[in-house]
Each structure stands twice: as C-alpha cells, then as structure tokens.
Amino acid sequence: MAEDGDRLHDEAALRLAALDQRYTSNRREIVRVLSRAERPLTINEIVDTADSVPVSSAYRSLTVLAEARVVRKVAGNDDTGRFELAEDLSGQHHHHLICSNCGTVVDIAASPRLERALADAARAAAEEAGFEVHEHRIDLVGRCSNCT
C-alpha cells in the first residue's frame, strides 16, 4: 500500500543499524514485498512473492525486522504469523478484518468518524490511569464473504 520509495528503505536501514543489524538484500526484498501488499502476509506468502528469499532466511529476517520495528506481527485467529509494515513507515493507519473460519486477515481503512470517536474514548479511559495513548489497534473478528 505504501510507496516503495527510498525514504522507506532509508528508514528501515536506520532502524536496523540502531540494533547493529545490516539491511541485507533479503531484508530489503521482504520490506519491498510488504510495502506492496494490501493485507498482512504469512511467511509463505512473502517467500512466494519475493525474489529468491529462502524460507529459513525469511524467518530470521522477519524476526530481526520486527525487533527493529520495521515490520509488525499481526495477530490473527490462528497460529499463522502474518506481517505488515509498521504503521509509522507505511503511513497507512488501518484496522483488520479477521475471519474466524478461514483465518484470512484483511486491511480496512480507518474512517475519520471512527478515529475521532476512538480518540475521545481512549483519552477519557486512559486519563484516570495517567496513561498516555499513542496508538490503537482494532481487529474485527467474524466471517469473510467467502465463508458466510
């Protein structure tokens, strides 16, 4: 969804460098694939789409990229790990629809109305605890159109 621009890769390289990790060609390819995806991808989907990234390397790379907060692991309704670009890198705030039958996870755009209501509710709920809210994550769980 995001631009596959230099800025994205520069920032990814910086975040890895902060952990003394290199932005290898495999890691760059994984970031490129995720930046073009319209939903969180499983490791197998990433490997199938990527240009010659072995599964073993993809596992290790995704762990490092997640540690560096370049990518984020998305919780689904099954044990399959799915990954997407960190929101502050993709610039695409969104929520997820999760099918409890087939496990599919789909991105949905956040509506301005919902975002405003959530910001107000979050502020009110967190204020008493002295908690500062930076972001929220919303997953809607149900049945996708293929499964109904």
Give the interface with Zn ion as residue ranges (CB under 5 A).
99, 101-102, 104, 110, 144, 147
Half-sphere exposure of 10 (CA within 13 A, CB side): 4
Q: By C-beta, is 47 or 99 nearer to Zn ion?
A: 99
Q: Closest approach of Cβ 14 to Zn ion, in Å?
A: 26
Q: For residues 32 and 87, which CB has a smaller minimum distance to Zn ion in the complex? A: 87
Q: Are strands 71-74 and 139-142 parallel, antiparallel or unpaired?
A: unpaired
Cβ-contact 74, 96 below 8 angstroms: yes
Q: Give the nearest distance from C-beta 114 to Zn ion in angstroms.
A: 7
Tokens of 72: 């984020």
Query: Whole-number minimum distance, CB 74 to Zn ion, in Å?
Result: 14
DSSP string, 66-109: HHTTSEEEEP-SSS--EEEE-HHHH---EEEEEETTT--EEEEE
Minimum CB distance to Zn ion smaller for 10 or for 38: 38
Query: Please, which residue, 25 or 101, has the CB nearer to Zn ion?
Result: 101
Q: What's the closest the beta carbon of residue 76 comes to Zn ion, in angstroms?
A: 11
